[in-house]
Chains A and B, each alone.
Chain A
Amino acid sequence: MNNKELISELSKRLRVSQNDISNLLASTVSAFSTAFQQGNDVSLQGFGIFQIRKKNERIIVNPSTNVRQIVPPKLTVIFKMSNTYKEKIKNIIPHGK
C-alpha cells in the first residue's frame, strides 16, 4: 500500500476529505520528525515503538584497493514491534499485491 492508497483508505473510513487527511498525515510525520530530533522515542500503542539509536563509527576496507576509511558515527531510527502485535502477525501470510 502506498501513500495515495493510504490517504484514500483513511478518508473513506473517517469520512474526511482526502485533502484534510493528507494535511493530518503531513502533520503527523512532522510531529514524528520533531520528536526524533529531540531524541525522544515515539510509541504507538498496540503496534510498536520508534527509537533513536547511535551507530558507532567503524573502519571499512575496500577489498580491491585496500583503502581504509573511517566511517563516522550516525544516528538512526529503529522500529521495534510491540509484543501483542508480534504475536498477532507471527504466522500470517501476506497475499502481496
Chain B
Amino acid sequence: MENKKQSIQELVDIIATQTNFTKKNSEEFLKEFVHVLQEYLEKDGFVKVKGLGTFKLVKNEERKSVNVTTGEAIIIPAHNKVSFIPDNAIKEAVNKPYAHLETITVDDDTKNSTIDAQPDNTVREEKSIQDEAKNNSIPNNTVIQQEEPSNNSKKTKKNKKKNPVAIVILLLLFHVAMAVSFYFYKTEIVSFFQRAVTIEENNLPQATIIDNQLSPVSIVADTVVVVETDSMPDTTNIQQPDEIIATYTPELAQNAPIKEYITVNEGSRLTWIAYKAYGHKAFWVYIYDANRNQLKTPNDVKIGMELAIPELDASLVNPNDENCVIKALELAEKYK
C-alpha cells in the first residue's frame, strides 16, 4: 500500500536543507532526539512532541491465549508497549484526502423504496470519491470497493431481512427499467417534435404522458424513475442541513422536544454536558438556549440544577460536520 519507506537518513537530508545546519549536525540531532525519546519514555512513561503527537508507555496485563498451531493454552506475560497518539495537526494533514467526507444519517422511517435506493446511492457516491482519491494518489482502492457491496447487503438484511438475491435482482430490474425508460423518453421527444412543431417547449410531464399511452413497460419504468429522483441524497441530505443551520434561532432549542434531563454534578460545565449529550463541546450553546429560563448567563450553572437537553436535528449537532461546529462556535462568540 505504501509507496516508500523513509529512514533517518532521508529525514536528515530534508532537515538539513530546511535549516542552516549541516547534514552531520542534523543527523546528530535526530539520533539524539530518538535517544531522548526512548530514555524519557522509560523514565517518565510519556513524551509529548508538539506538532507530532504523544508517546506513552502502556502496560499490558498478562492474559491467556491459545497457541494457534498446537491448540495449547498459553499465558502471554505482562509487558509494556508504546502507544502513539498523533497530534491534531498531523491527524488532519494525513486525513486530507478524505477530509471532505461527512457522516451521513440513514433514515429508517422513510418508505421502503428509499431504503432500497439509498445504499445504492451512497455506494455510487463513495465510488466517485474513490476516483477523486485516486487522483490524489491515494492507494488501496480495491479494498474498499470490495467492502462496500458487503456493507450494502448487510444493511439491507438488517433493514428488511429479505433474501439478498431478491434484492440484487430488484436492483438489476431497476436499472434495466431506467435504461428502457430513458430510451423511450428520448425517442418520444424526437417524434413529439416531428408531430407537433408548435409546442416547442416540451417538458418532462408531457413526455411521460405520451410514454404512458405507448407501452406498459415505460409506465413502470417512469414511475420508478420518479421515486428514484425523490430519494436522491443531494436533495434530502445536503441542502437541508445548510438551511437548518442558517435559520437557527434560540427559540428552536427552547421549543425542541426534550431528549433527557442531566443533573449538574460537581465540576461539570455546559461544555462537558454538551460533550456527553452531543459528542462535541461546541454545542453547549444549544443547551444554554434551551435552559434560558434558569440560566441568566452561560456561567450560571450550579450543582444540582436539572438541565434540559433539547432533541435537535442531527444536521445541527453533528460533531463530525465542520459547518455545525463553526456555527455553534459563532453562536458561542455572541453569548460571551
Report A's interface with B, CB cutoff 8 A: 1-3, 5-6, 9-10, 13-14, 16, 20-21, 23-52, 54, 56-57, 59, 64-79, 81, 85-86, 88-92, 94-97
Contact = CB atoms under 8 A, between A and B. Distances in A.
Interface in B62-111: 79-84, 86, 89-91, 93-98, 101-106, 108
Given A25-B49, A40-B5, A79-B84, A30 B44 contact: no
B90 to A, nearest CB: 6
Given A59-B106, A70-B104, A89-B41, A79 B90 contact: no
Nearest to B56: A94
Interface of B: 1-8, 11, 14-15, 18-19, 21, 25-26, 28-30, 32-34, 36-38, 40-53, 55, 57, 79-84, 86, 89-91, 93-98, 101-106, 108, 122, 126, 137-140, 143-144, 147, 151, 155, 259-260, 314, 320
Given A47-B34, A67-B108, 9 more contacts: A20-B19, A25-B33, A28-B11, A31-B18, A33-B89, A69-B314, A79-B84, A81-B81, A91-B79
Given A45-B8, A66-B108, A28 B97 contact: no
Nearest to B26: A24
A72 B98 contact: yes
A77 B91 contact: yes
B80 A14 contact: no
Given A77-B90, A94-B44, A30 B82 contact: no
B140 A76 contact: no
Contact of B30 (A28, A41, A71): A28
Given A59-B151, A85-B38, A90 B2 contact: no
